[in-house]
Amino acid sequence: MNPVNYLYLAALLFTIGATGVLIRRNAIVVFMCVELMLNACNLAFVTFSRLHGNLDGQIIAFFTMVVAAAEVVIGLAIIVTIFRSRHSASVDDANLLKL
Amino acid sequence: MSSAASVHSLWTAAADAPQKIPAPHIEYAQLSPTLIVLGAAVLGILVEAFLPRRTRYPAQLLLATVGLVAAFAAVIALAAGGYGTDKAHIAAMGAVAVDGPALFLQGTLLLASLIAVFTFAERRLDPAAHGRRVDSFAAQGAAVPGGEAEQEAVKAGFTTTEVFPLVLFAVGGMLVFPAANDLLTLFVALEVFSLPLYVLCALARRQRLMSQESAVKYFLLGAFSSAFLLFGVALLYGYAGTVSYAGIADVVSGTTRSVDPALASTSGNDALLLIGGALVLMGLLFKVGAVPFHMWTPDVYQGAPTPVTGFMAAATKVAAFGALLRLLYVVLPGLRWDWRPVMWGVAIVTMVVGAIVAVTQTDVKRLLAYSSIAHAGFLLAGVTAASPDGISSVLFYLVTYAFVTLGAFAVVTLVRDAGGEATHLSKWAGLGRRSPLVAAVFAVFLLAFAGIPLTSGFAGKFAVFKAAAESGATPLVIVGVLSSAVAAFFYVRVIVLMFFSEPRPDGPTVAVPSALTSTAIAVGVALTVVLGVAPQYFLELAGQAGTFVR
């Protein structure tokens, strides 16, 4: 199969993730959409790695996974904290800070 | 035995004898500023784990101070050794550049972080709780605000001394960020400095709900923007087949030595380059707080603990502008005719929106946030110059901006009432009568923000606009000067409010800080005046440092 198809899939996944971040209201779901975007990036890296015949892209995919894991740790900690103090993880309920 | 081996060999093959893999060559001495700071951060974690609670605060403060000072000394030693000028080169197998702009920005970052650490450690401002002095950070970050666990933590005198290792990790990432010489290092450094900042934002002692909300907003938007940056990195990698800055620049300008068929097909695809470059720029402009991506700035600046806000405002901007300059001047100079109009547009919108929206603000921290957006616009005007003067003027402006910002936020921590910091502007009325010294110092910072002559802000703005004008960006300079005038209006309005209106009877009091915050404010005032009255030496220093290595 032509590897370029995987690039289209990566772009599609990235777009789904970005759309999800913009339209979903639950912080956890928003965060999952961000992770989907990161994984779409990984797919693009690996595909380009195959296209170019060098391993850089595959190595970068590992780095991305580690970063994504670190982000999950921080992100879930913050979201759980705000859920415990407000009993809601909706990004619309967090509205103390405005003009 | 032998038959087993022969059967086995049907579906396995003997591996080649392992070849010697050459170990990468790492120039530890040239990377020492970053290594020292990260080492101090790791030691800080060990201190948290093993030292008794009482001794952690002095140990952490000492460790952070020593680490930052030692790293600054290492930067000075490298610069004195000529690594900023003629010995500039690329270290760590092409991952990190050691050159003039990198060392200049690292030095600035380390000094700014040292000042910020002093404001983090301040324990005289809040009234003592249960006989123990407390700082601006929550007794226990995990305890629910207003809950039983929080009361117990306060009663037991817990303090969040983890902020010191966190800030050191953030500084470590920031030191790498402007020096990153490939896109992977850029992305990793971005995350290394962003993640601790998200946590720091959530740790305010007062108004914890707002603080946590600011952390959630910063985290979600920050992760969103870094995903865009990463996809841009993927596209640029697809375009050039490499993530090294010099490699991509070669492919962009068409001067690669060998072109294989795969590279020939992808590098003919300009969509990869343009979209990839735009996405990476977007990620950086988010960190800078430029206008289409500025929405997080006021909320996060207002909600975060004020020392963290000062650190974030000063250091993040320095690091992110360093990375932005290197990306535009080293990777994408071949695309100059494509990115310059875009950056023109972003700079104009940023200056105008920052200045105009700031006029309507009623909270000091939000006001300073919008002023930082406007300053990002002025800095972008210098970035668009695409000339050596552009680089050196932006470097100089970053120094002036960083210390004024740190000083201004340090003053904000002093003005307090029963609910903690009194950040509403109406409460600042008549502050000049109640505490002339603090009001005068804040006035100096505001005048520097406004760019009044004899303050550092004027010298910085003059350098940036001069570089922009010489590169033919006259409309940009005109918009810049006009929005500076609008900005000056609201800075002067605050000064008038402080000095020429009656103090309110229920107004805030001005806390007397310890030597830590006093040092921070004094350094801010001193640099504001020195860089304003005699900027020549520092301009020359920035001019000497203004050459990127490739």
The B residues from 216 to 275 touching A (CB cutoff 8 Å) are 216-217, 219-220, 223-224, 227-228, 230-231, 233-235, 237-238, 241-243, 260, 262-263, 266
With respect to residue A96, please indicate whether it lies within any of the assigned structural domains: no
Phi-psi region of B207 (alpha: psi -120 to 50; beta: other; left: phi over 0): left
Q: Which of A48, A75, A86 sits opposite B234 (nearest CB)?
A: A48
Total of domains in chain A: 1
Q: Determine the structural domain holding residue A44 and report its residue range.
A: 4-86
With respect to residue A56, please indicate whether it lies within any of the assigned structural domains: yes
And the tokens for B326?
């290197």
Q: What is the rounded distance in angstroms from the CA atom of residue B469 to the CA atom of residue B381? A: 9
H/E segment holding residue B184: helix B183-201
Q: Which residue of B has its CA nearest to A65?
A: B188
The amino acid present at A35, given as its one-letter code, is: E
Q: Determine the structural domain holding residue B173 and report its residue range.
A: 25-545
Q: Does B129 touch chain A (CB under 8 A)?
A: no
CB B402, CB B315: distance < 8 Å: yes
- Cβ of A41 and B198 within 8 Å? no
- Cβ of A96 and B210 within 8 Å? yes
With respect to residue A94, please indicate whether it lies within any of the assigned structural domains: no
The B residues from 207 to 226 touching A (CB cutoff 8 Å) are 208-210, 212-217, 219-220, 223-224
How far A85 CA sits from the closest chain B CA (Å)?
Answer: 5
Q: Which residue of B has its CA nearest to A98?
A: B299
Q: What is the pTM of this model?
A: 0.94
Task: Please write the tens of the pLDDT for every residue from B361-376.
Answer: 999 999 999 999 999 9
With respect to residue B339, please indicate whether it lies within any of the assigned structural domains: yes
The amino acid present at B264, given as its one-letter code, is: A
Output the domain CATH number for residue A67: 1.10.287.3510
User: Pairing relation of β-strands B415-417 and B420-421?
Assistant: antiparallel
Q: What is the rounded distance in angstroms from the CA atom of residue B117 to the CA atom of residue B517? A: 10
- Calculate the average pLDDT of chain A: 92
Tell me the average pLDDT across A16-37: 95
- Cβ of B238 and A85 within 8 Å? no
With respect to residue B6, please indicate whether it lies within any of the assigned structural domains: no
With respect to residue A22, please indicate whether it lies within any of the assigned structural domains: yes
Q: Does B199 touch chain A (CB under 8 A)?
A: yes
With respect to residue A48, please indicate whether it lies within any of the assigned structural domains: yes
* Contacts B302 to A, Cβ<8 Å: 97
Which of A7, A25, A34 is best to mutate for the B interface (most B CBs within 10 A)?
A: A34
With respect to residue B20, please indicate whether it lies within any of the assigned structural domains: no
Local structure of residue B329 (DSSP, 8 states): I
With respect to residue B52, please indicate whether it lies within any of the assigned structural domains: yes
Q: Which residue of A has its CA nearest to B304?
A: A97
Total of domains in chain B: 1
Q: Does B184 touch chain A (CB under 8 A)?
A: yes
- Cβ of A78 and B230 within 8 Å? no
CB B397, CB B464: distance < 8 Å: yes
How far B223 CA sits from the closest chain A CA (Å)?
Answer: 7
Query: What is the interface size between A and B, counted as CB pairs within 8 Å?
Result: 138
- Cβ of A52 and B208 within 8 Å? no
Asked if ipTM goes beyond 0.90, one says yes
CB B198, CB B166: distance < 8 Å: no
How far B262 CA sits from the closest chain A CA (Å)?
Answer: 6
* Contacts A86 to B, Cβ<8 Å: 209
With respect to residue A95, please indicate whether it lies within any of the assigned structural domains: no
H/E segment holding residue A86: helix A56-86
So what's the pLDDT on residue A94?
75
So what's the pLDDT on residue B375?
96
With respect to residue B19, please indicate whether it lies within any of the assigned structural domains: no
Place of tokens 């952390």: B215
So what's the pLDDT on residue B126?
83
- Cβ of A38 and B227 within 8 Å? yes
With respect to residue A97, please indicate whether it lies within any of the assigned structural domains: no
User: Could you list the mean pLDDT of each consecutive 10-residue stretch along chain B, which spans 550 residues?
Assistant: 56 69 88 96 96 93 97 96 88 92 96 96 85 86 89 89 96 97 96 96 92 95 96 96 93 83 84 95 95 93 95 96 95 90 95 94 94 96 91 96 96 90 90 92 96 93 94 92 93 93 86 93 96 93 89
Inter-axis angle of helices B317-326 and B270-288, nearest 10: 160
- Cβ of B191 and A70 within 8 Å? yes
CB B212, CB B314: distance < 8 Å: no
One-character DSSP codes across B424-446: BGGGGTTHHHH-HHHHHHHHHHH
- Cβ of B144 and A85 within 8 Å? yes
One-character DSSP codes across A30-51: HHHHHHHHHHHHHHHHHHHHHH
Pick the closest to residue B191 from A27, A70, A44 (CA basis): A70
- Cβ of A64 and B144 within 8 Å? no
One-character DSSP codes across B383-399: HTT-SHHHHHHHHHHHH
Q: Which residue of A has its CA nearest to B143?
A: A81
With respect to residue A91, please indicate whether it lies within any of the assigned structural domains: no
Strand partners, B493: none
CA torsion, points B225, B230, B233, B238, in degrees to nearest 10?
Answer: -130
* Contacts A7 to B, Cβ<8 Å: 238
Q: What is the rounded distance in angstroms from the CA atom of residue B72 to the CA atom of residue B55? A: 26
Which of B237, B293, B356 is best to mutate for the A interface (most A CBs within 10 A)?
A: B237
With respect to residue B98, please indicate whether it lies within any of the assigned structural domains: yes
So what's the pLDDT on residue B1?
45
How far A16 CA sits from the closest chain B CA (Å)?
Answer: 13
So what's the pLDDT on residue B6?
58
